Structure formats: C-alpha cells, structure tokens
A = this chain, B = another copy of it.
Amino acid sequence: MVIRVWAPHAGRVELAIASERIAMTLGDRGWWLADPPAAVAGADYAFLLDGAEPPIPDPRSNWQPAGVHGPSRLVDHASFRWSDAGWNAPALEAAVIYELHVGTFTPAGTFDAAIERLRHLVDLGVTHVELMPVAEFPGNRGWGYDGVDLFAPHHSYGGPDGLKRLADACHAHRLAILIDVVYNHLGPDGNYLPRFGPYLTDRYSTPWGDAINFDDRGSDEVRRFFCDNAQMWLRDYHADGLRIDAVHAISDNSARHLLEQLAEETAALEQRLGRRLVLIAESDANDPRIVRPPELGGYGIGAQWSDDLHHALHSVLTGERTGYYADFGTVADLAKAITRAFVYDGRHSAFRGRRHGRWPAGISGNRFLGYLQTHDQVGNRAQGERTARLMSLGRLKIGAAIVITAPFIPMIFAGEEWAASTPFLYFTGHDNPDLARAVSEGRKRSFAAAGGAIGEVPDPQAPATFARSKLLWSEVASPPHNEILAWYRELLSLRAATPELRDGRLDLVKVQFDEAARWLTITRGAITLACNLADRTQPVALGDRAPRRIVMASDPRITLSGATVDLPPDTVAIVRTS
C-alpha cells in the first residue's frame, strides 16, 4: 500500500513502520509518499516530521486501535464482504430519523451490540439511523464532538470493521444509516493536525477552539481533507448520508462555501455510487441559504435541524423559560414554528441580543428536521434529563404527536420512544489529567449560577456518569414505557400511511390556537390534530369538514361531539375527515 501524508512545511518526513524508519519522498503539493513492503493492511505506522520524536499518527488514519496518541493502522477497505448490493435509502420526504449514541445505546456500547437493536427500530417505524460522531476522539468514552482522527471509527466502538458490520446490518434491515461529522473544530487532545499543515486559522474563532482554515492560505488541501472525509463515510462505510455538526461555526468567506462544495461532491458521488445520499446540517443560523438550491444562491444541503420547533414546543410543554427558552414560551410561537419553520426569521432575540434568522420562503418543510429532544438539549442540562422527566405523560404524548405529524422530517433521540428513565449526561473519558480536571471543573462552573437548585452536577469524567447514561432496555416492556412506545409506533404508522402528513408544503398547514385558553389545532389535509394544554377539560373546534372520526387519542376520555372534540387537560386527539 502506498502511504501518503500532506506535510507542506516539513523538510523531511519519515514513516515509522515495523520497527523501521523510512524516509518518505516529497511528491506534488506537499504530499509525501512511501511504499515499503511492510505497508500491508493491519500494519501499524506513524510519522516523524523533521525528525521530531515520538512518531505521531496519520491525520487521515483509518484506525487508531490504541487511541488518539497511538499508532495508526492500515485498513484495506476492499476486503470487507458487504451484503447490501442493490440497497438504496428512502427519500428524505419519507424519512424518520433516529439519533443514537453508540456508547450508550446498548450495555456493551459497540457497533456490533447496536445491531441487536435494529429490529426494535424497524418495528418503531424508523427509516434512518443517525450515529452521533464515531470518529476517534480522546479516551474510551465521550459524545464524540471532540474527534481528532476524523477518518478513524472509534476503537472503543469496534473500529472500521465494526462500523461496516453495523452499516451492512442496517441495510439488511432496510434502514439507512447517517453519520454525524464535525467539521467546525478539532478536539483538545490528540490533535496533531497543526503539526502537519495549516489546518487551523486565527482569522475566526469558535466556542470550542481554533477555527478550521477553509479560506486562507493552504486551505485547498484542508478542504480536501474534510471533503474526502465525507466521501469516505459514504463510499467506504456505505453510509447513506451525513449529519454535519454546527455548520454556523464553519467560517468560510471564500466564493464557494465548504458546504456547497460538500453538497456538489456528494451529488457527484451519488451519481457514481448509484444510490441516494443526503447531507443534513445542524445549523443555529436560521439561514435559509443552507438548504436553498445552488441555482438560487444556496448551499444545496438536503435538510437542516431546526431548533425553533424544539424550543417553542419544549417551553410550552414544560413552562421552562431559562437560557434559550427565554425566547419562546407562547402557543403563538409554537404555531409559527409549525407553519414557518423558523420562529426567529429576522425577529429580535433577547437571548442573542440581536435580530436573528430569515424567513425560509418557498422552502419545503421536508428540508427541516423536527424533534422533541436531541442529545444536545437533553445532555446540556446539568442532570441530563430527557423530556419525559420534565413533563406529564400526557404532555409527552402531545409533544410526540405534534412532532410526528408536523410538516418536517421527524427525528427521535434514542430512548425517547419509550420515555427512557435514564438520563443522557455529559460524559468524557479524557486521559490527559490537566484536561480531565479542566473538563470536570468547567462543567461544574457552567452550572454554578443555578446553585443548588439543580442538584449536584455529575462529574463528566466519572465512569458512573457514562454508565448512568446507558439505556435500560429492560424497562421498555413495562408501564408507562410500553404505553409511550405504543403511542410512538402508532404515530409513526399513521404518518407512514398518510400522504398529507409527509407533505412538506408549509402553506398548506393550518394552525389555530387560543393563547389564553391554551388549545391548538393543526390541520393537514383530512387530518386535524387537536390538543388541550389547559388544566381543565375544554371543547376544541375542528372546522367545517365532516364526517369526522378519531384516529388517535392520547386519553380514553376524549370524545367527539359534532364539530368539536372534548379534550381533558394535557390530551391530544387526531381526527380525520373523510
């Protein structure tokens, strides 16, 4: 195998492999090459730049079996035996996404263990499994957003072959697989990239450290690094798409934004591979440019996460008004989120201290993901409480019903579907003692203002914090978890069977509400969802179309009487006219 590495500023580069030091040859544009006999699949190797000891891992390492500081291991992607010939992912319009963290999804926390639970996802009605970042990050446990070896599936999850087995099994279950990638910063430990080349820039800053150099001197190869990374997951791991983390923190003022380049190259790869690929951005910018097509000046990303629906829904259901929830809280905002995707479409945000966002005029709801919770909103709470801990079962059902019948692509965070009792805490496994201490103390400090009100903040570094975050599959079959799971299954089944619920045209969605009386109806074709958030039973008008029948009810006391439905407190009904 030819081993290559980009080190444009190095005077000499040596390859350390099989106890040897081999001088590499400088090829074009700062790429160094070597092709020793020892370079076979499974061999460990590392590089020395200008003789600096110890040898350091390959920025494009495909496998870091001993972690971020260990040697890289050569992988032969061609050797894996795939069984998914002819596979093609469903279109985004029909998608139901399931976000999961490999380490906490099962007791073993591996790719292989996750395979055992794919049947559950199929039965639930999921179409796309989305893995939180799997690229090698420091330590044996973590969320994965501090990855440094972006081409290497994490050793603790099972490495390259493990991920391939999971992808292959997903496809065998007719599930698409999406991988979360972080292209806005690199982790704080094990990041050897700046030793190799101008991967970072001080022109911009991110909340998590130096920004990636996408538009300054040397950025062509840096962009290739990330674009090649995207292609690798899609091509070599048969992923059906990527979720791109925090794209608002990707600063690129060049004439072709990195996201547009990624979208173009993904479209070209889709043609070559002959199967559907999708890019989904996490964006906090409320900027329609992300998902607008390139011919209209957009970046052409397939879809984006939309926190505004989450925040509007969460604040209405929980009454929470702290942090970013200060910007939400009214039923009117929830109604706006459902009909316009962005509540903040140029409106002044008190939380941000400025106007925020822009109306995504003419853009389909199918370009936005809607969700009641994600790893972020759960895990960034001091106690990592899932939504189920923060509201009644009745409200949980309302939240699920709104998300799953909304004109957006629904996404479920693993465990949400049975109101998992376990938290999803912020956990890390840093080996570097200074960093470990900084993370532990930083976490405590970030919640210090709230004082005792939120209880003791779990130490991210404590193994128990990770262990507590693992899903308890034993609870799924028992009340109330089984009741919630049945509710989710029924909702997803209704969505799958009802074309108007998958219709992304936002201008066809009719929402009515009474802020004071706290009821809300959402009508989409023949389907009307009616919910009562008041603390008293009330009749809610369903509109003129008749006859009507209740197709789902969150409570047996719900009754239909003529053009109204009588809803007890914290209940929701889905009514069909026919």
Residues of chain A touching chain B, judged by Cβ–Cβ distance below 8 Å, are 202-205, 215-220, 248, 251, 253-256, 285-289, 292, 295-298, 346, 348, 352-358
Which residues in B have their C-beta under 8 angstroms from that of A295?
296
Interface centre among A220, A251, A348, A358 (most CB of B within 10 A): A220
Contact A254 B297 (CB under 8 A): no
Extra inter-chain contacts (7) besides given A203-B204, A253-B285, A256-B358, CB under 8 Å = A204-B205, A215-B354, A248-B253, A255-B288, A255-B356, A295-B296, A296-B297
CB distance from A217 to the nearest CB of B (A): 4
Contact A354 B218 (CB under 8 A): yes
In the assembly, how many copies of this chain are there? Answer: 2
Which residues in B have their C-beta under 8 angstroms from that of A216?
353-354
A205: contacting residue among B202, B254, B256, B356, CB under 8 A: B202
Contact A354 B220 (CB under 8 A): yes
Contact A217 B358 (CB under 8 A): no
Which residues in B have their C-beta under 8 angstroms from that of A215?
354
Contact A219 B256 (CB under 8 A): no
Which residues in B have their C-beta under 8 angstroms from that of A220?
348, 354-355
CB distance from A525 to the nearest CB of B (A): 31
A294 closest partner in B (C-beta): B297
Which residues in B have their C-beta under 8 angstroms from that of A219?
353-355
A217: contacting residue among B298, B353, B357, CB under 8 A: B353
A–B complex contacts, Cβ < 8 Å, 16 sampled: A203-B204, A204-B204, A216-B354, A217-B353, A218-B353, A218-B354, A219-B353, A219-B354, A251-B251, A253-B285, A254-B287, A254-B354, A255-B285, A255-B346, A289-B297, A296-B296
Please measure, in the bound complex, the distance between the C-alpha atom of A296 and the C-alpha atom of B294, giving whole angstroms: 9
CB distance from A298 to the nearest CB of B (A): 6
Contact B255 A286 (CB under 8 A): yes
Contact B353 A255 (CB under 8 A): no
Contact B255 A217 (CB under 8 A): no
Please measure, in the bound complex, the distance between the C-alpha atom of A354 and the C-alpha atom of B205, giving whole angstroms: 21
Please measure, in the bound complex, the distance between the C-alpha atom of A346 and the C-alpha atom of B356, giving whole angstroms: 31
Which residues in B have their C-beta under 8 angstroms from that of A346?
255-256
Contact B358 A255 (CB under 8 A): yes
CB distance from A452 to the nearest CB of B (A): 29
A346 closest partner in B (C-beta): B256
CB distance from A326 to the nearest CB of B (A): 14
Please measure, in the bound complex, the distance between the C-alpha atom of A277 and the C-alpha atom of B551, giving whole angstroms: 60
Which residues in B have their C-beta under 8 angstroms from that of A348?
220
CB distance from A342 to the nearest CB of B (A): 9
Counting from the closest, the 7 A-B pairs by CB-CB distance are A297-B297, A217-B353, A255-B358, A255-B287, A219-B354, A220-B354, A255-B357
Which residues in B have their C-beta under 8 angstroms from that of A298?
297
Interface centre among A203, A253, A357, A358 (most CB of B within 10 A): A253
Please measure, in the bound complex, the distance between the C-alpha atom of A353 and the C-alpha atom of B219, giving whole angstroms: 8
Contact B253 A251 (CB under 8 A): yes
Interface centre among A255, A289, A297, A353 (most CB of B within 10 A): A255
Please measure, in the bound complex, the distance between the C-alpha atom of A102 and the C-alpha atom of B119, giving whole angstroms: 77
Contact B204 A356 (CB under 8 A): no
Please measure, in the bound complex, the distance between the C-alpha atom of A348 and the C-alpha atom of B297, giving whole angstroms: 23
Please measure, in the bound complex, the distance between the C-alpha atom of A74 and the C-alpha atom of B287, giving whole angstroms: 41
Known pairs A205-B203, A296-B296; A217 contacts B354 (CB<8 A): yes
Please measure, in the bound complex, the distance between the C-alpha atom of A205 and the C-alpha atom of B215, giving whole angstroms: 14
A298 closest partner in B (C-beta): B297
A254: contacting residue among B217, B255, B285, CB under 8 A: B285
CB distance from A512 to the nearest CB of B (A): 28
Please measure, in the bound complex, the distance between the C-alpha atom of A373 and the C-alpha atom of B298, giving whole angstroms: 35
Which residues in B have their C-beta under 8 angstroms from that of A297?
289, 292, 296-298
A221 closest partner in B (C-beta): B354
CB distance from A263 to the nearest CB of B (A): 14
A293 closest partner in B (C-beta): B297
Contact B255 A289 (CB under 8 A): yes
